[in-house]
Amino acid sequence: MSKASDCGVLQLLTGLGLARIKTKPDYRRFSGQVHAIWPETFEAELVLEGIQAPHLAWTMLFRTLVRGLRGNPLHPRPLDQDSPELAETVLTFVKLHLRIQKHLPDLVLWPEQGLDADQLIGDGGWCDLCGQCCCHAGTVPHPPQGIDYPPFFYHALAGETLYPQPFCPFLFQAMGQPAFFCGIHPVKPIACSRFDKTDCERGSQGRGCITNDS
Ligand code: SF4
Ligand code: SF4
């Protein structure tokens, strides 16, 4: 357990989530808050690295951990409070994202500066990339035929590395709009590939709408 203090995590996530809506936040603006929450330098540096990461979905961390968004009514994560446990959750999520990102080039390449939302067309246009269907506690991690993931991907996809996770750690955020995409889209698990418009429409109310974070 980190020695994180119990104040300021929700405030930090709010600032980062709103700043990240269109582009990467300026990490220097958040450095003081980060060091106050994670006094251990190596932990603070990891979080700052996460702020500079091109795909980390800070806006979804804000929506789920601050606003309490859950992708479905059966999601087991209780509402979050400002606490050392929440700081630990954020740190774990950031570490996981950075580790996933390091292994991605073996499977799929995304632009290093981030992926422009204008380049994304959600399944032919019906999906507006709200990302809510990926806000679950884990999925069946079977890859498509001929693909094998690094071993820890299977645990991360199943939601075993951070339980109960606020959303799938492979959900990435685009640039330019609050749009979200699958970080392993071309090789995503079979269960995810089978998710279609009917499943989307069967999901919780409000899915399919880009919500206003301001
Ligand atoms: S692997 Fe991709 S499509 Fe599947 S839940 Fe995670 S982010 Fe969503
Ligand atoms: S919930 Fe529906 S609209 Fe939103 S990303 Fe998933 S499939 Fe697309």
**For residue 211, what pLDDT is reported?**
47
For residue 127, the ligand closest to its alpha carbon is 2
Ligand 1 center–CA 47 separation, angstroms: 23
| Closest atom of ligand 1 to CA, residue 188 | 1
Supply the ipTM of this predicted assembly: 0.99
**For residue 115, what pLDDT is reported?**
93
Cα dihedral 199, 69, 77, 88 sign: positive
Reported in sequence order, the residue ranges of the chain that DSSP labels E, i.e. its strands, are 171-173, 180-182
| Closest atom of ligand 2 to CA, residue 131 | 5
Average pLDDT, 10 consecutive residues per value, the chain (214 residues)? 66 97 92 97 98 97 96 93 95 98 94 91 78 96 97 98 97 94 96 91 65 46
| Closest atom of ligand 1 to CA, residue 170 | 7
User: Is the C-beta atom of 8 inside 6 A of ligand 2?
Assistant: no
Rounded distance between C-alpha atoms, residue 153 and residue 101, angstroms: 11
Ligand 2 center–CA 174 separation, angstroms: 15
Query: Tell me: the pLDDT tens digits for 126-158?
Result: 788 999 999 999 999 999 999 999 999 999 999
The letter for the amino acid at 16 is: L
**For residue 205, what pLDDT is reported?**
63
Where exactly are the structural domains of the chain?
A: 9-106, 117-202
Ligand 2 center–CA 53 separation, angstroms: 24
